[in-house]
Amino acid sequence: METTLRGVGVSHGVAIGEVRHMGTAVLEPPAKQIPAEEAEREQGRARQAVEAVAADLIARGNLAGGEAQAVLEAQAMMAQDPELMADVERRIAVGSTAERGVYDAFAAYRALLAGAGEYLAGRVADLDDVRNRIVARLLGVPMPGVPDSDEPYVLIARDLAPADTALLDPALVLGFVTEEGGPTSHSAILARALGVPAVVALPGAGELVEGTVIAVDGSTGEIFVEPGDDKRASLEQAAAARKAALAASSGPGATSDGHKVPLLANVGGPADVPAAVEAGAEGVGLFRTEFLFLDDSKKAPSEDKQVDAYRKVLEAFPEGRVVVRVLDAGADKPLDFLTPGDEPNPALGVRGLRTLLDHPDVLRTQLTALSKAAEGLPVYLEVMAPMVADRTDAKAFADACRDAGLEAKFGAMVEIPSAALRARSILQEVEFLSLGTNDLAQYTFAADRQVGAVSRLQDPWQPALLDLVAASAEAAKAEGKSCGVCGEAASDPLLACVLTGLGVTSLSMGAASIPYVRSTLSKHTLAQCERAASAARAADTAEDARAAAQAVLSGE
């Protein structure tokens, strides 16, 4: 019998196939005591397992490239954390086996993070995956992960660790569904980069029976269990129509009446550039530079290394616009040489621009490297600061750019509600705004972007969030400056129309989403987008906002 479930759609497309479940987590190892003379041998086993897992994560990252590489290298650093390893060896010295020492040491660190109010929930999930991989190696059992199958399937999991998501084979994994996660989780972002339909935050996903046929609509978040012939046909027809529309869509982003909306790509480094170019990106709207700094959490990369990486991206978009975000460290992206380790609330502490202003040498080196990377290139370089709270922050960043001799536009990210509310003041110091809707939602609704239980508050259709977008866009228009969106909200084709109607001047997203957004925008006039935006803001819930915009744009 056909039934319908609903989660949060995070990656476009339709997948129909049999359910396969992610390999189960490693069982808790027994708590048995070892003789004192075996402690040194067990400590050696633990060190070897840790190094092997770290090497495997780095190798997976090298294969995946781009954002996935940065995430996996961060996990490898977790595995090799010297304090964790010291705790493991201490536990073994007093009688634990290697596997039990690892299990208990990671559990203690996990409890410490969870006690911070789960602001580091995404890091906790990654930590669990590292622990499971080390313990599995010590126990000699298969690693938890993607099931073996010769036939394509839909993957079901409680959550997907970055190490699993990064190397999914789209030829076998038709789509995936998770119980946890949210629209801005690591897995969601990587799914969009892969172009795999995905739905997250689906309660009871783990109860779907192995082998059951389901249909996954990654746009609406709907899951159809045992879909009938009519439902299959309608979904396949819609998917075919969408594919045809994408194939017919090309060129710069614009509404049907010619209002230009540049469509830019979010990239994590040179490895992400080919997909952006192939998708027809008109430039880069968010160059996340953190990946360079994750190679070594103990020190910043050299100026020469930075110049090389930045230039590779800039060269890919001659005459195009490339917007670089300076290092956004802190919270779920800690770096030993920059971020304090004892903050009770890291997401509300010293992160982003606050960190860089505390370490002006790191900021100056990055700005100098960007200046050198752009020398002689016909690219339009723009540089923006993360986590700008007010005009004082904006001025400090603009001054730093000028002091470094950077010939580029200086901008501010709007990720904190205060920046949206005082956008016109901030624009007295900088030349453009870029809305990071992921963090803006997190801080507007006090809802951690990595926690599935509050994913409804991370929905970019929330009317309060749309109000803040509108306030920022109106301020930019009044000042004769630009206001783009570089958060994941831009990847939703329907929402892209609404953002355009709110006055946003450019949209930046994962490369895989660009054709969908281009095609949808080209079907509607600017006036229709403006009416859809007004209808969405008049609603009281995210669901009603989406429905209201859909009704306007479909002519209902």
Answer yes or no: 486 catalytic.
yes
CA distance 468 to 421: 7
Q: Three-class SS of residue 385?
A: strand
Neighbours of 541 (CB within 10 A): 13
CA distance 102 to 196: 34
389: amino acid identity, one letter: A
Nearest of 524, 551, 548, 528 to residue 538 by alpha carbon:
548
Answer yes or no: 401 catalytic.
no
CA distance 327 to 294: 11
Q: Three-class SS of residue 220?
A: coil
CA distance 240 to 227: 18
How would DSSP label each residue in 47-98?
HHHHHHHHHHHHHHHHHH-HHHHHHHHHHHHHHT-HHHHHHHHHHHHTT--H
Which one of 12, 401, 483, 486 is the catalytic residue?
486
**C-alpha triplet 366, 326, 68: angle, nearest 5°:** 105
Which one of 12, 186, 401, 529 is the catalytic residue?
186
Token pair belonging to 196: 């795999």
Alpha helices in 273-390 (DSSP H): 273-278, 290-293, 303-315, 353-358, 360-374
CA distance 236 to 16: 9
CA distance 325 to 353: 10
Neighbours of 18 (CB within 10 A): 15
CA distance 60 to 75: 11
Neighbours of 128 (CB within 10 A): 18
Give me the active site residues, please: 186, 486
